[in-house]
Amino acid sequence: MDVKIRRALISVSDKTGIEEFARALEGMGVSIISTGGTARALQDAGIEVLSIDSVTGFPEMMDGRVKTLHPKIHGGLLGLRDKAEHTAAMKEHGIEPIDLVCVNLYPFEKTTARSGCTLEEAIENIDIGGPSMVRSAAKNHRFVTIVTSPSQYESVLSEMRDKRGSIGEDLRRDLARQAFGLTASYDAAISKYLNGRAEDLFPQRLSIAAIKEQELRYGENPHQRGAFYKLTDSREVSVGAARLLEGDTPISFNNLMDANAAFELVKEFDEPAAVVVKHMNPCGCAVDSDIQRAYEKAYLGDVVSAFGGIVALNRPVDPDLAAAIMDSYARFGKAHGAGGFFAEVIVAPLFEPEAIELIRTLKTWGQRVRLLETGPIDRQKRDKREYDIRCLVGGLLLQERDLAGWEPELLSFPTKVRPTQEQMEDLRIAWLCAKHVKSNTITLVNGRKLVGVGAGQMNRVESGQIAIKHAGAAARGASMGSDAFFPFPDNVENAAAAGIACVVQPGGSKKDDEVIAAADKAGIAMIFAGKRHFKH
């Protein structure tokens, strides 16, 4: 059933395109009701409007808090035009039907994102009348069209032009669906803000506000559909908030997962650092005083696994760095057994225009590589109230994010031998890398470069053996990191046999004394970090 649009109510905070939209409605013979600042803006543009108080018979009052909450408005929205009882009540009380509502809500999220926003300001930007009208119109979408975003204006006008001023049932239903999503997201944002001011980290009811950024080619596998949703109130520098620079190949579900893993590790370091990730685990990570040198070291950590991986950097990409990344195989990899090199994604705070041009014009890379620009990293702006969420069938697991890093005040030194200053630096990197590798985890670092990784094994001994095998000769003199304690001395004994010089692990095993004795026997320095970093 098509519904002729004769009367519209317009009340918007975001006035983008509203004059053009209202003028087009007016040109199709639609009578327009409006409120406050919207009415003034439309009148100033020469568009004839009825003020809300002329419809309700009551003035806008209480600083605009009360203006649309009135039977002559909600009766005009909720009345069923095909039900005699409703039409009789509307006639008796002088209620005229409203066929279209154009409303967008007070900018609550934008307001609370502003530095220094007070609770009073936040509360004043909680819209009441707007969501009420949206819900009323959406509930009665059999007869009412609800428009909630400037992005919908053209589709509404196009349909009215095609249908001689009417809106079809399919579009009304789709707009109603979007409207309920908007009000749910809006309420979720308010709930999260108020929960963030409470002591209770885990509220009785949890609402998550997210908006679809894009549909993806597929999920983890081609037979699964996938999409990326952005948390609307997230203000942290992250892959989720990054800008995807132009390219021919869309970014994938797995690309985003891996890019997030890579960038969250590289964010751990204040010094120039580079990370290469493959299948959610770092195969390369390095720190240096020079970002180009840090990248070279990270790439050389595992030139075979790096192919098709994700590169993350915590410094801007200039033309020299871009050239080094794209020429990695010829410069570094060929001599180390690599079969070539291509990065699926490069993530960095900034790409200089000349660097983008260089990447895009390289024949073998061109538009294929996705470039994610995050903006400058500020580790002080990490959102401690954002949940780490894991999905179960039929439920969610929530926890605080693991934001613990290298905490010198927690370190203890139980062995006779203490690490040198250089070893302490390698232990720090090994520890931070272990935090970002799937458990059970063993990492080996030598010369501020990740040289071996054992990830996700069912026992820690096997993880250690994999890391040592991968490191080869670089294991001698290396520093070992373990995400959890050693339950037995076997890892230390294997480390000693490989020539590993020192170890960082959480400590806390019932057999710590035996582990310490094994380290002392081998002359290995060991640090207890005091925390563990399981990553399932």
Name the DSSP class of 331: I
Alpha-carbon gap, residue 314 to 237, rounded angstroms: 11
Query: By C-alpha distance, which of 339, 378, 373, 330 is closest to 355?
Result: 373
Active site residue 279: yes
Please give the angle made by the CA atoms of 334, 335 and 336, to the nearest 5 degrees: 90
Give me the residue label for tokens 């696994």: 305
Residue type, 91: K
Active-site choice (15, 86, 139, 511): 139
Phi, psi for 234 (deg, rounded to 5): -80, 130
CB-based contacts of 434, cutoff 8 Å, min separation 6: 441, 442, 443, 481, 482, 483, 533
User: What's the first-to-final CA gap in the chain, in angstroms?
Assistant: 52
Active-site choice (86, 230, 279, 334): 279
Packing angle of the helix pair 153-162, 18-27 (nearest 10 deg): 10
Query: Length of the chain in residues, anyone?
Result: 536
Bridge partners (DSSP) of residue 9 are 33, 101
Provide the CA 88 distance to its chain's centre, in angstroms. 51
Bridge partners (DSSP) of residue 32 are 8
Provide the CA 528 distance to its chain's centre, in angstroms. 33
Residues of 133-165 as b/e, b for ≥16 C-beta within 10 angstroms? bbbbbbebbebbbbbbbbebbeebbebbeeeeb
Active site residue 139: yes
Helix (H) or strand (E) holding 285: strand 281-287
CB-based contacts of 362, cutoff 8 Å, min separation 6: 326
Classified as helix, coil or strand, 212 is strand
Residue 98 and residue 110 in contact, taking contact as beta carbons nearer than 8 Å: no
Alpha-carbon gap, residue 232 to 151, rounded angstroms: 17
Q: What tokens were used for 484?
A: 């959890």
Bridge partners (DSSP) of residue 452 are 444
Q: What tokens were used for 57?
A: 């018979």
- Tell me the catalytic residues: 139, 279
